[in-house]
Structure 1
Amino acid sequence: MHSDRGTQYTAHDMALACAAHGLRRSMGATGICWDNAGAESLWSSFKHECYYRHAFATKAELVAAVDNWMIFYNNDRRHSALGMRSPIDYERTLRATTEAS
């Protein structure tokens, strides 16, 4: 799990939660905003495309919305940086190119 060095990410409870779920933690360097640019872009897209457009009555609804949006983001949403392909399609292209070599 990559994050910045915010107190919520450096907290002991976060370290325990990551360990319990088998997540390896990494953090960007202090004062270097570009270290976390990919994660910031992802969450900005999520907030503008999903979160701000819905009212969630329960935590379960929010969790389901995050899960559904992440599936959409990786499998169906086209990304200009990937030649208007989804991340899954882009990875398939890379894999096919590697296997053909």
Structure 2
Amino acid sequence: MYLPVVIDLYSRAVVGWAMHHRMQQALIHAAPERAVARRQPQTEVLLHSDRSSQYRAYDYQVLLRRHRIVPSNSRPGNCWDNAAMESFFRSLKAEQVYLTRYASYQEAKTGPFDYIRFYNHHRRHSTLGYLSQMEFERRKTSSSS
């Protein structure tokens, strides 16, 4: 299974995702499209990814420009550039994937989405003062009003 995700680094919330058993360009496009649909950014945003060919492809770059997304890629051999993403996937694997025996393809496909819901709404994050991602955003939004 391939699961591209987009994480908001301010709140560490997963804001875009898609999943499929084959790595296709449409799959790679779906995660930022979903993030844009959910967040509807009013200004230019930065999207960081690794240096894989699917993220450097012409069609993907066109998609980013269309949504006023500035691409950023990891430096070769520097895993720290993608630390937030690596941390999310470590949590997903340790807290769900490795602990679950999926009975069907459909169950395997919905499991990560259920985890993303849990991750955003209930899982506490140390860099956010041990608040969940959505609670952190709610508090920041209400305090800035």
User: Does TM-score exceed 0.5, indicating one fold?
Assistant: yes
- Equivalent in the alignment of 1:4: 50
- How many percent identity over aligned positions? 37
Q: Select the structure that is richer in strand.
A: 2
Match of 1:71 among 103, 117, 124: 117
The answer to whether the aligner puts 1:42 opposite 2:88 as a matched pair is yes
SS in 1 for 2:102: coil
Deviation at 1:39, TM superposition (A): 0.2
Deviation at 1:63, TM superposition (A): 1.7
- Equivalent in the alignment of 2:78: 32
Per-residue deviation, residues 72-91 of structure 1 (Å, max 9, x unmatched): 00001112221221000001
CA distance, structure 2, for counterparts of residue 42 and residue 55 of structure 1? 20
Change (3 A) 1:94 1:53: same
More RCO (CA 8 Å, sep 6+): 2
Q: What's the TM-score, normalizing by structure 1?
A: 0.73
CA distance, structure 1, for counterparts of residue 57 and residue 97 of structure 2? 26
- Superposed CA RMSD in Å reads 2.7
Runs of 4+ residues deviating >4 angstroms: 7-12, 22-26
What is the aligned residue count?
94
Deviation at 1:57, TM superposition (A): 3.0
SS in 2 for 1:90: helix
Deviation at 1:35, TM superposition (A): 1.1
- Equivalent in the alignment of 1:58: 104
SS in 1 for 2:75: coil
CA distance, structure 2, for counterparts of residue 94 and residue 68 of structure 1? 25
Unaligned runs of 5+ in 1: none
Aligned-partner residue type, residue 66 of structure 1 = P
- Equivalent in the alignment of 2:44: none
SS in 2 for 1:30: coil
Unaligned runs of 5+ in 2: 1-5, 7-47
Change (3 A) 1:68 1:82: same
